[in-house]
Structure 1
Amino acid sequence: MSTFLLFAATVLIWGTTWIAIAAQVGAVPLLQSIFLRFALAGLVMLAGLALMGRLRRPAQWRFVVVQALCLFSFNFIGLYNAAALIPSGLVSVVFSLASIFNAVNARIFFGERITARTIAAGAIGAAGLGLLFKDDLGGAASLETLRGIGWAAFGTMMFSLGNMASRRNGQLGVTPVTANAWGMGIGALVLLALIGGTGQGLVWPEGARYWGALAYLALIGSVVGFTTYLLLVARIGSARAGYATVVFPVVALMLSTLYEGFHWTPAAIAGLGLTLIGNVVMFARR
């Protein structure tokens, strides 16, 4: 598959998963929704690879486990909690700063230089977020909004650390498909352990809406979406692949406007514009 098709598939899939996440919030405990998502996705990937004769044990397990914890457990604990507090489209905008997180973490873990452009992009993006959330932070719901932003930022950081683990897996010869398949299974087991540790009983979800969202998130959002994204990371690097996060917030906010009643204000429009400009500054050619 060409780089353009990998990029387009990632944007389209991940731009639509946010509204599906919102459809799951409240029906059952959040940990259980995430567990069901990755249990189904992991089973499908492992079974599919086994049937095709392509199931391989990773040569190194250490960073596969790290990737599982970051990408398929803690990342979504943050994002699902955020979606319970603020509109899903806004969660996607916070998540769009993953490219900035990737640049910082690439410096920490791989010694890549942080440029003045990265600093400028981060400042512009942060200003955009401030404008986007301006009206919400000024009212009685400001504490709830701040919690939502905090959860979204935590999820984005976990996603970025998972990117770093994926890069290390690639250096060790573990393909994205292999790391994803085992990682989703490991992530599901971790989530099941967390459910048991918190004393939550498993609840049988009801309603076609929930199950439809679960199927979409597990099969399309996870199996296909993570595979296309991590193939993109392996092909063009985590920083450039992170540019996909620039585009899909627009898709997510359009869906949030249609289905969640997200209200556009001049400040919100300006904030989204600045956030997107910050990401474009990150990647634009001189």
Structure 2
Amino acid sequence: MNGILYSATVFIWGSTWLAIAYQLGDTPVVVSVAWRFGLAAIALFAILAFQKKTPRLSAENHKLAALLALCLFSNNFLCFYAATQYLPSGLNAVVFSLAPILNALNLWIIEKRRPSATFIQGALIGFTGVVLLFASQFMNAEMDWTILLGLMLSLLGTYFFSMGNMVSAHAQRKGMPLLPTTAWSMGYGAIYLVVIALVMGLPLGVTMTPMYLSALVYLAIVGSVIGFNTYLALVGRIGAAKAAYCTVLFPLVALSLSTLFEGYEWTCLSALGVLLVLTGNLRVFGIPQPVKRWYQSSIA
């Protein structure tokens, strides 16, 4: 069962980046993200109602849910969607895989938890990999500086996500129920985005094409509801540290799909960059015990 949950999480999270690329076009980014989390919130509330778990929060907890919405279910995805206009979706996923490293940096800044030497080594390796990966893109694009804009947007979105993790951890320490909090946060995120769209004078309609609508449903239901719950189930069964290996593997899925469907072109430099990003994450998390056991048995 753990293998099924793990594989499902890696594939779902790895494939959502390509689905984001399919949403770009006539519908404004802010409207697309609003619909995504609006539908996801409705689905989560429906699940909670079916389970007869009333999603009630105190007034103070609603404030935290709204803050979580700003970090995790709105502004971060505005950045990711905008970045996908300038970057292949797989590169967006590689940048996002640095989220655990940013989490540790935020804990250092906010809670004064100094990272270990192992973490610092992994972080430096990972960031070096991103630099090499995008150096390859600059050379291929003949110094197309829109790639730099895409990188900055992707990093900003990842930082918003990391701050959302800090807010979520604080909320869980306060004993806030996870799924109801998520449902309310997704709802608040959708409302926030709708308000932005209205202030900007944007229509709330979406592109009524099979490609756009299928991507929207996939992102809302599979990416935001099912993927979130498979990950939570995995955390409950094997622990957060082991479940975090998903962030190491899903960029490989994203880059494979980007190669197949977006024509992403690999170079020696980009391959080395991806390898360093993965190595940096593995340095931070450590080598999985099953791999260690396999290696020890193979040399015995």
TM-score range, shorter chain: over 0.9
Q: Check whether the contact 1:64–1:179 (CA below 8 A) recurs between aligned residues.
A: yes
Matches of 1:208 and 1:168, distance apart in 2: 40
- The match for 1:31 is 30
Measured against aligned partners, the alpha-carbon deviations of 1:23-73 in whole angstroms (never above 9, x if no partner) come to: 001131111110110111111111221232112212422322221111100
Mark the CA change 1:77 to 1:198 in structure 2 (over 3 Å): closer, same or farther.
same
TM norm structure 2: 0.88
Per the alignment, in what secondary structure is the counterpart of residue 203 of structure 1? Answer: coil
Measured against aligned partners, the alpha-carbon deviations of 1:108-141 in whole angstroms (never above 9, x if no partner) come to: 3444331111211111111111211123223445
Q: Check whether the contact 2:18–2:254 (CA below 8 A) recurs between aligned residues.
A: yes
Q: Does 1:181 align with 2:183?
A: yes
- The match for 2:72 is 71
Q: Check whether the contact 1:176–1:227 (CA below 8 A) recurs between aligned residues.
A: no
Q: Which shows bigger deviation, 213-222 or 53-62?
A: 53-62
- Which letter maps to 1:249? P
- The match for 2:148 is 146
Q: Check whether the contact 1:20–1:217 (CA below 8 A) recurs between aligned residues.
A: yes
- The match for 1:112 is 113
- Which letter maps to 1:216? Y
Matches of 1:118 and 1:27, distance apart in 2: 43
Q: Check whether the contact 2:45–2:55 (CA below 8 A) recurs between aligned residues.
A: no
Greater CA radius of gyration, 1 or 2?
A: 2
* Pick aligned residue for 1:212 from 200, 214, 230: 214
Cα drift, residue 13 of structure 1: 0.9
Q: Does 1:100 align with 2:101?
A: yes
Matches of 1:231 and 1:158, distance apart in 2: 24
Per the alignment, in what secondary structure is the counterpart of residue 142 of structure 1? Answer: coil
Q: Check whether the contact 1:107–1:114 (CA below 8 A) recurs between aligned residues.
A: yes
Matches of 2:110 and 2:64, distance apart in 1: 13
Q: Check whether the contact 1:85–1:144 (CA below 8 A) recurs between aligned residues.
A: yes
Matches of 1:113 and 1:151, distance apart in 2: 27
Q: Check whether the contact 2:37–2:189 (CA below 8 A) recurs between aligned residues.
A: yes
- The match for 1:10 is 9
Q: Check whether the contact 2:55–2:181 (CA below 8 A) recurs between aligned residues.
A: no
Mark the CA change 1:176 to 1:111 in structure 2 (over 3 Å): closer, same or farther.
farther
Measured against aligned partners, the alpha-carbon deviations of 1:221-273 in whole angstroms (never above 9, x if no partner) come to: 00122233356567744x66543211100000000000000001111111110
- The match for 2:39 is 40
For structure 1, the residue ranges without an aligned partner over 5 or more in a row are: none
- Which letter maps to 1:9? A
- Which letter maps to 2:105? V
Matches of 2:63 and 2:239, distance apart in 1: 24
Mark the CA change 1:6 to 1:66 in structure 2 (over 3 Å): closer, same or farther.
farther
Q: Check whether the contact 2:29–2:81 (CA below 8 A) recurs between aligned residues.
A: yes
Matches of 1:104 and 1:241, distance apart in 2: 20
- The match for 2:57 is 58
Matches of 2:114 and 2:63, distance apart in 1: 26
Q: Check whether the contact 1:167–1:233 (CA below 8 A) recurs between aligned residues.
A: no
* Percentage identity across paired residues of the two chains: 42
